[in-house]
Amino acid sequence: MAATTFTTTGDAEFRDTVRAWCRDHVPRDWRQAQTGASDAEFVEFQQSWFRQLREAGFAVPHWPAEWGGGMSVAEQVALYQELAAHDAPRLVLPFVSIHHAASTLLGAGTDEQRRRHLPAILDGEIWCQGFSEPGAGSDMAAIRTAARRDGDAYVVNGQKLWASGAVHADWCLLLARTDPDAAKRHGISYFLLDMRTPGVDVRPIRQATSESHFAEIFLDDVRIPAANLVGPENDGWRVAQQTLGAERGMTMLELAERLHHGGFRWLVDLCAQPGPNGARPLDDSRVTDRLAQLETELTGLRLLVADFVADDHPGAADASVVKLYYSELLQRLMDFGTEIGGLAAQTRLRKPLSSGWESACWALDFVGSWEWTIPGGSSEIQRTIIGERGLGLPREPGGTR
């Protein structure tokens, strides 16, 4: 059984250019080199790979042309398909920078903020996201980190949790409550925080996969210049929706392609290998039925994402549909890979950094896949959004609108 070819519109010459570039530039041994790599080696590799993509014009295809992007949707589809097909490393370290930070700056930042940070991101400036807190994970409206205006600055106190890449970050997208008496969603402001500011304390969180991708951020009388406020004061909830929308747009296009060309392809290869008893899982009709189901779901995901990113006016719940579909399909696929892999899949406990969630270390990938059904709005919250905003169902007390 082989994965079907997913066809899209696009310029054949551009696709050939990307394909040739990938053959010449994708490191052949990067997975081996990144397995067991030190933190410093991971950072150096990610920065080096980002520079190569930037020099080729492939690092930020979704940005406007004036800032180094400007690719059409069809070209972006072709780019991500070829990067996935050639097993190019994932941009894990700059992920928040080139997607969440850039989307926020382009949509709600001032001209000065854009001029300061967008070129710096292309030069390697790393960003993290300070949204979640203890007791306010998926429910951003429940945040308690407080920001008090003091002259030309805001003084911030509080704690953030599950900040991806915060250990390496230069800057942080920060939400803080500026009006404690306002309704929950109307008293939040959005800031750009320099992580070198006195009073910022970052502590890594060791995960079940043995990695420390996440961190806690403690803020003790941290002064943020008022010029670093994004959007009007107390309008941070609206700005944050733009940030989260970035994670469900072009980022999903790349992730869907990688799940197809990486996770599913490796799963099919795994099923074609003889097990301990000499039999191939692929010869079991129950296995082929599951593979057919997963492939059908993957094709649907890829078409759904392609339609979403091509739509200039997506529906109010479309981003939630995409996020929910991808995260739960990712989980099911990694679960099946762990099941098929048997004991060997349970004991392979080192995966290459820079691989993201599709490393073929099935048990670790399965554990890591749960990350996607919780942050950025849990699956339960996505279903509520779909019901309220997409289907027009009555809003429950404490709903999302």
Express each pLDDT in 19-28 by its tens digit: 999 999 999 9
Do 344 and 264 share a structural domain?
A: yes
Do 206 and 177 share a structural domain?
A: yes
Express each pLDDT in 182-224 by its tens digit: 988 899 999 999 999 999 999 999 877 667 778 999 999 999 9
Residues belonging to the active site:
247
Which token pair is 92? 């894990």
* Domain edge (last residue) among 212, 235, 258: 235
In a domain, 169, yes or no: yes
In a domain, 172, yes or no: yes
The answer for residues whose C-beta is within 8 angstroms of residue 270's C-beta and 6 or more apart is 281, 337, 340, 341, 360, 362
Question: Is the separation of the CB atoms in 122 and 68 below 8 Å?
Answer: yes
Q: In CATH, what number is assigned to the domain containing residue 326?
A: 1.20.140.10
Do 329 and 249 share a structural domain?
A: yes
In a domain, 292, yes or no: yes
Helix count and strand count (H, E) for the chain: 14, 8
Do 277 and 225 share a structural domain?
A: no
Element (H, E) at 12: helix 12-25
Q: If you compute the radius of gyration of the chain from its CA atoms, what whole number of angstroms results?
A: 21
Q: In CATH, what number is assigned to the domain containing residue 204?
A: 2.40.110.10
In a domain, 268, yes or no: yes
Task: For residue 170, give the amino acid letter.
Answer: D
Question: Is the separation of the CB atoms in 133 and 145 below 8 Å?
Answer: yes
Do 276 and 188 share a structural domain?
A: no
CA 43/CA 37 separation, integer angstroms: 10
Beta strands in 58-104 (DSSP E): none
* Domain edge (last residue) among 193, 218, 235: 235
Do 199 and 260 share a structural domain?
A: no
Which token pair is 337? 């890979």
Q: Which domain holds residue 224?
A: 126-235
In a domain, 113, yes or no: no
The answer for residues whose C-beta is within 8 angstroms of residue 312's C-beta and 6 or more apart is none
- Stretch among 207-211, 361-365, 374-378, 395-399 having the lowest mean pLDDT: 395-399
Express each pLDDT in 40-97 by its tens digit: 999 999 999 999 999 999 999 999 999 999 998 889 889 999 999 999 999 999 999 9
The answer for residues whose C-beta is within 8 angstroms of residue 122's C-beta and 6 or more apart is 54, 59, 60, 68
Do 164 and 141 share a structural domain?
A: yes
Binned at pLDDT 50, 70 and 90, residue 401 comes out as very low
Do 264 and 196 share a structural domain?
A: no
pLDDT at 396: 63
Task: Provide the number of structural domains found in the chain.
Answer: 2
Question: Is the separation of the CB atoms in 216 and 163 below 8 Å?
Answer: yes
The answer for residues whose C-beta is within 8 angstroms of residue 396's C-beta and 6 or more apart is 384
Express each pLDDT in 96-120 by its tens digit: 999 999 999 999 999 999 999 999 9
pLDDT at 388: 93
In a domain, 217, yes or no: yes
Express each pLDDT in 328-371 by its tens digit: 999 999 999 999 999 888 888 788 988 887 788 999 999 889 88
pLDDT at 5: 39
Express each pLDDT in 221-250 by its tens digit: 999 999 999 999 999 999 998 787 766 666
Question: Is the separation of the CB atoms in 145 and 189 below 8 Å?
Answer: no
Do 250 and 208 share a structural domain?
A: no
Do 176 and 143 share a structural domain?
A: yes
In a domain, 106, yes or no: no
Percent of the chain with pLDDT over 90: 70
Compute the mean pLDDT over every residue in the chain, rounded to the nearest whole number. 90
In a domain, 80, yes or no: no
Instruction: Give this prediction's pTM.
Output: 0.89
Do 249 and 230 share a structural domain?
A: no
* Domain edge (last residue) among 189, 206, 235: 235
Q: CA angle, 267 as apex, 305 and 60 as ends, to 5°?
A: 35
Do 154 and 264 share a structural domain?
A: no
Alpha helices in 235-360 (DSSP H): 236-246, 250-258, 265-271, 285-310, 318-347
CA 177/CA 144 separation, integer angstroms: 6
pLDDT at 184: 81
DSSP-assigned letters across all residues of 199-237: TEEEEEE--TTS---EEEEEEEEEEEEGGGEESSTTBHH
